[in-house]
Amino acid sequence: MNTQPSHKLRRSAMYVPATHLRALAKVGGLDCDAVIFDLEDAVAPGMKAPARGNLVQALANGRPERKEIVVRVNAIDSSDFEQDMETVALCRPDAVLVPKIHAASDVRAMSEAMARHRLGGPLRLWLMVETLAALQTLGDIVQAGLAAQPVLDCLVVGTNDLAKESGVFAGDQRHYLMPWLMGIVLTAKRHGVCVLDGVWNDFADQAGFDAEASQAVKMAFDGKTLIHPAQIGPANRAFSPSDAALLEARGIVAAFARPEHADAGVIDLNGKMVERLHWAQAVRLLAVQAAIAARNAAIT
């Protein structure tokens, strides 16, 4: 049995405003798994055109290595969208992140726009979940994304926008947002789509970030979106398997690999009942660790 399937690392996805020249120049040195070059929220209305030019030039000067390159465009009904898509066609990122999705029809419109701009092949589609309409129709949105070309690969939660549109208080360990967040995770897991948690706004509050990242791990998010380089290391640590978890996972995989357990659905491992589902969880955990080890080896 293959105990180390491929795994795409998205522990840390760093937003970088395309207007910030110094940040663009430093992206290559960041240890994040993904960088999201932002043409939307982080760019003032009057700076959209310069931002597009900055991004094209920055990537022409050299593409960041060992990290996924994503471009967040403006909403499909905005006056900047078509020019953003022209920029995407020039930059050829790994993925396009689309904000303000409301319904499955938006996903189909995005797919049509991709075709108009001759975007396809290895390009992947990421979608923001940040509107109340998206929360209510997320299953349909994801199904449309999986049928789209390029295919949906990742959901990104926009907690700030959800709180703003709904008026729901986002503090108290996100207690009042929790049903929505878990619903997003449930939909993503059901359809086999990656899902990333929203940002922690107070980048000076490291303890607060650590607590929310730990919460996101327990909720089964695959990673977290970030707004400051100081959050990268803590996010990578939070979403990396612990030594204890790896030890247990290796023990489970080794136990099921024994000839006497070849057809077993459940075994006794050190006095604990272990099922095939635990083996599957262990395999996934080891795949994450293998991807981390491969990335670290490439850096060194």
Are the C-beta atoms of 94 and 126 separated by less than 8 Å? Answer: no
- Strand ranges for the chain from DSSP E: 12-17, 34-38, 68-72, 95-98, 124-129, 152-157, 194-197, 223-226, 266-269, 272-275
For residue 286, give Cα distances in angstroms to 188, 224, 234, 289: 21, 20, 20, 5
Model pLDDT, residue 120 = 81
What pLDDT does 300 receive?
Answer: 65
Closest to 232 in 3D by CA, of 6, 41, 10, 71: 10
CA distance 192 to 219: 15
Please tell me the predicted confidence (pLDDT) of residue 6.
55
What one-character DSSP code corresponds to residue 273?
Answer: E
- pLDDT tens digits for range 143-194: 999 999 999 999 999 999 999 999 999 999 999 999 999 999 999 999 999 9
138 token code pair: 């997320």
Contacts with 300 (C-beta within 8 Å, 6 or more apart), sequence order = none
- pLDDT score, position 2: 38
Cα separation values, 287 from 250, 262, 282, Å: 11, 21, 9
Q: What is the pTM of this model?
A: 0.93
**Cα dist from 94 to 98, 111, 206, 222, 226, whole Å:** 13, 16, 30, 18, 18
**How far is Cα 128 from Cα 200, in angstroms, rounded to an integer?**
16
Please give the C-alpha separations between residue 237 and each of 10, 32, 56, 260, 286, in angstroms, as whole numbers: 12, 11, 32, 37, 15
> Which of the residues in the chain have pLDDT under 70?
1-6, 300
Q: Are 229 and 30 in contact (CB under 8 A)?
A: yes
Q: Tell me what pLDDT residue 42 has.
A: 95
SS3 274: strand
Q: Which of 287, 298, 297 is nearest to 4 (CA)?
A: 287
| For the chain, the helix, strand and coil percentages under 3-state DSSP, each to the nearest 5 | 50, 15, 35
Closest listed residue to residue 3, CA positions, set 288, 256, 253? 253
Pair 242, 290: CB distance under 8 Å: no
Give the whole-angstrom CA distance, residue 113 versus residue 77: 11
Domains by residue range for the chain, with CATH: 12-238 (3.20.20.60), 243-299 (no CATH)
User: What's the pLDDT tens digit per position in 183-196?
Assistant: 999 999 999 999 99
